Amino acid sequence: MDKLLARGYTDLSVLDLSSTALEIARHRVGDSAPVRWLREDITTWQPARQYALWHDRAVFHFLIDAASRARYLEVMRQALGPEGAVIMATFATDGPERCSGLPVARYGAGELEELLDGFAMVATGREEHITPGGVVQPLTWIAATRRQLSASSGRP
Ligand SMILES: C[S@@+](CC[C@H](N)C(=O)[O-])C[C@H]1O[C@@H](n2cnc3c(N)ncnc32)[C@H](O)[C@@H]1O
């Protein structure tokens, strides 16, 4: 978000379950930053509009049951426009098994690609994220766009 603001983007929304997390981010960028702050559970959120880009670092991996994951992916599809793109980072398969005391699911790029049915992968990557406390947390990154049906799709 900070980098998008620095580049002049003005249609930004930040969603988190935690009002404390939102307050910290809001304090960092200032009250006048053109950001909509949404205190919502991503699995129950009902987006009122569509977005060009969905960016999630280290949220999806907290959803460890199939129903929550399915709901997240459904919400993401609702929130993205027909040419929407998604950038996601989760803990990698050799990443930590817990985060902030909570169990997490870990993914390789192939597993995320399977979950993002209907999206075309643009890029995948790995990051050795280092926490402020100096702990290394391997992340899997993916970028994908909504797959466009070709003009001939569906014809015999
Ligand atoms: C590890 S932090 C990552 C924060 C930020 N995305 C970043 O990369 O710095 C995970 C965040 O996910 C949020 N979170 C966890 N479950 C959530 C849910 N169901 N809906 C919305 N936010 C959730 C937590 O409140 C927390 O702020």
What are the Cα distances from residue 148, in Å, to 3, 101, 137? 29, 40, 34
Together in a domain, 74 and 115: yes
What are the Cα distances from residue 96, in Å, to 20, 59, 89, 93? 24, 14, 14, 8
Confidence of residue 156 (pLDDT cuts 50, 70, 90): very low
Model pLDDT for residues 72-111, shown as the tens digit of each residue: 999 999 999 899 999 999 999 999 999 999 999 999 999 9
Whether 111 maps to a domain, the answer reads yes
Measured in Å, residue 98 CA sits from the centre of ligand 1 at 13
Together in a domain, 16 and 82: no
Q: What is the pLDDT of residue 150?
A: 58
Together in a domain, 129 and 58: yes
CATH number, domain of 62, equals 3.40.50.150
Please, are residues 91 and 58 in contact by the beta-carbon 8 Å criterion? yes
CA distance 19 to 51: 22
Together in a domain, 52 and 125: yes
Together in a domain, 61 and 119: yes
Model pLDDT for residues 25-59, shown as the tens digit of each residue: 999 999 999 999 999 999 999 999 999 999 999 99
CA distance 135 to 128: 10
Together in a domain, 90 and 137: yes
Together in a domain, 53 and 94: yes
Whether 8 maps to a domain, the answer reads yes
Beta carbon of 17 within 6 Å of any ligand 1 atom: yes
For residue 9, the enclosing domain spans 1-40
Structurally, the chain folds into a number of domains equal to 2
Q: What is the pLDDT of residue 153?
A: 47
Please, are residues 116 and 146 in contact by the beta-carbon 8 Å criterion? no
Together in a domain, 72 and 100: yes
Instruction: Using the predicted structure, report yes or no on whether residue 14 has a pLDDT greater than 90.
Output: yes
Beta carbon of 43 within 6 Å of any ligand 1 atom: yes
Which of 16, 87, 91, 129 to mutate to test ligand 1, by most ligand atoms within 8 A of the CB atom?
Answer: 16
Instruction: Using the predicted structure, report yes or no on whether residue 113 has a pLDDT greater than 50.
Output: yes
More confident residue, 13 or 147: 13
Which of 35, 62, 100 to mutate to test ligand 1, by most ligand atoms within 8 A of the CB atom?
Answer: 62
* Predicted model pTM: 0.94
Q: What percent of the chain has pLDDT over 90?
A: 92
Beta carbon of 42 within 6 Å of any ligand 1 atom: yes
* 99: nearest Cα among 149, 64, 68, 74: 64
Q: Residue 46 is inside which H or E element, if any?
A: none
Instruction: Using the predicted structure, report yes or no on whether residue 143 has a pLDDT greater than 80.
Output: yes
Q: Residue 155 is inside which H or E element, if any?
A: none
Average pLDDT, the chain: 94
Together in a domain, 47 and 72: yes
